[in-house]
Amino acid sequence: MTRTTHNAFPSWLTALACLAVVGTGPAAEAQPKPQPTLKIGVTLHPYYSWTKNVVGDLPGYEVRSLLPGEIDAGDYQPRPDDIKKIVDLDAIVVNGIGHDDFIAPMIKASGNTKLVVIRPNETTPQIRFVNGKGVNSHTFISFTNAIQQTYAIQKALAALRPKDAEALQRNASEYARRLRLIKSRAAQQLAEAKITRVVTVHDGYGYLLQEFGLEVAGVVQPSHGLTPSAAELRDMVKLLQRDKIRVVFSEETFPEAMLKVLRDEAGVRVYVITHIASGPYTADKFEREMQRNVDTMIRALVAGA
C-alpha cells in the first residue's frame, strides 16, 4: 500500500510566505520615504498667486497666506495668530522693498531661525513714487515684473527642492506665457490710445501704466492711505484743468465725495482699477484682476476717449 504523505503547509501557503519574506527584505526597506511638505508663506496676494502657479499640482508643497484676505497690507497690524503661522514655515516670499515691512518683526517674534526668506524684488527694475519720496514698492502691479518675480520664486524653490527643478521651471514658464498673452493683447489695443496722460488716486499703478507707454501726471493721495486735504484737492483740480487731463484712475475704497469734486470741477471721467490688495487668496487672482485692469484701461483710454 502506498502511503500518502501530507505536507504541513499547502504549497500555495508556502508561496505566500516566500512572497512575504521577499516583501520585507532589503529591497523593500530601500524604498524612498515621501519627502516632508515644504511650507511656503507669502505676505501679499500677488505673491500667493505666483507661488501657487510655480508649485502647481506638485505633491509636497503648501502655500500659506499670512495676512487675512480682507486686510490691505497698508493697513495691517501684526497679530499673534498670524505670527503663529510662521513658526513651522520653511520659506517665505516677501516684497521686501517697503510694502511688507511688518514681516521682519513677525519673523523674529516667531522664533523660526531656519526660515529661508525669498526676496524676488532683488533683481527687479524699480521706479520712484511720483512725489519722488522713495522707491515705489508696487512692483507686483506689472506684467513684466510679475514674470520676473515668478522666475525668481521658481529658482529659489528649485534650490530648496532640486529634484523638482524641471517641473517648477515648466510651471513658471507656462504661467509666464499666460501673463505675456494678456499683456500682448492689451498692448495691441492700447497702442491706439488717444489719451496717454492720466492722474491716479493711488500711486500703485506707475509700473502698470509705464509698461504701456502711459504717463502718470499726478497722484491725488499725498501718500499711501492718506486722504488729501481741501487745499491738496484744489491743487489737483487745478492740475487737471491746466494739463487738460481727462481720465482719473481710482481705487475701490477712495471716498466718493472727493471723486465727485474731481468730476464736477475738472470734468474728468473716473475709472476704478485694482492693486490686488484684498479678497480671497487664489491661484488665479492675479491673472483675473490684471485682465480686469487692462480691460478698464482700454475702455478709458481707447474706447471712451
CATH of the domain at 282: 3.40.50.1980
Residue 97 lies in a domain: yes
Q: Select from 185, 218, 240 the last residue of a domain.
A: 185
Instruction: Show the cell assigned to 34.
Output: 515621501
Same domain, 240 and 180: no
Same domain, 179 and 286: no
Residue 19 lies in a domain: no
Residue 13 lies in a domain: no
Which of 64, 58, 54, 57 has the alpha carbon at shortest distance from 155?
Answer: 54
Q: What pLDDT, on a 0 to 100 scale, did the predictor assign at position 9?
A: 40
- The domain tally of the chain equals 2
Same domain, 102 and 86: yes
Same domain, 98 and 127: yes
Residue 94 lies in a domain: yes
Same domain, 190 and 175: no
Tens of pLDDT along the chain (305 residues)?
334 344 444 443 344 334 334 444 444 455 667 789 999 999 999 999 999 999 999 999 999 999 999 999 988 999 999 999 999 999 999 999 999 999 999 999 999 999 999 999 999 999 999 888 899 999 999 999 999 999 999 999 999 999 999 999 999 999 999 999 999 999 999 999 999 999 999 999 999 999 999 999 999 998 877 899 999 999 999 999 999 999 999 999 999 999 999 999 999 999 999 999 999 999 999 999 999 999 999 999 998 76
Same domain, 164 and 203: no
Same domain, 52 and 63: yes
Q: Select from 185, 219, 240 the last residue of a domain.
A: 185
Residue 98 lies in a domain: yes
The model carries a pTM of: 0.88
Residue 20 lies in a domain: no
Same domain, 193 and 178: no
Same domain, 62 and 168: yes
Q: Which residues contact 241 (CB under 8 A, 6 or more apart)?
A: 265, 266
Q: Select from 185, 207, 229 the last residue of a domain.
A: 185
Q: What pLDDT, on a 0 to 100 scale, did the predictor assign at position 35?
A: 82
Same domain, 199 and 292: yes
Same domain, 175 and 284: no
Residue 83: give the domain boundaries.
38-185
> DSSP string spanning the chain?
-PPPPPPSS-HHHHHHHHHHHHHTSHHHHTSPPPPPPEEEEESSHHHHHHHHHHHTT-SSEEEEE-S-TTS-GGG----HHHHHTTTT-SEEE---SSS-TTHHHHHHHHT-TTPEEE-GGGGS---B-TTSSSB---TTS-HHHHHHHHHHHHHHHHHH-GGGHHHHHHHHHHHHHHHHHHHHHHHHHHTT-S--EEEESSTT-HHHHHHTT-EEEEESSSSTTPPPPHHHHHHHHHHHHHTT--EEEE-TTS-HHHHHHHHHHH--EEEE-----SS---TTHHHHHHHHHHHHHHIIIII--
Residue 7 lies in a domain: no
Same domain, 67 and 141: yes
Q: What pLDDT, on a 0 to 100 scale, did the predictor assign at position 181?
A: 99
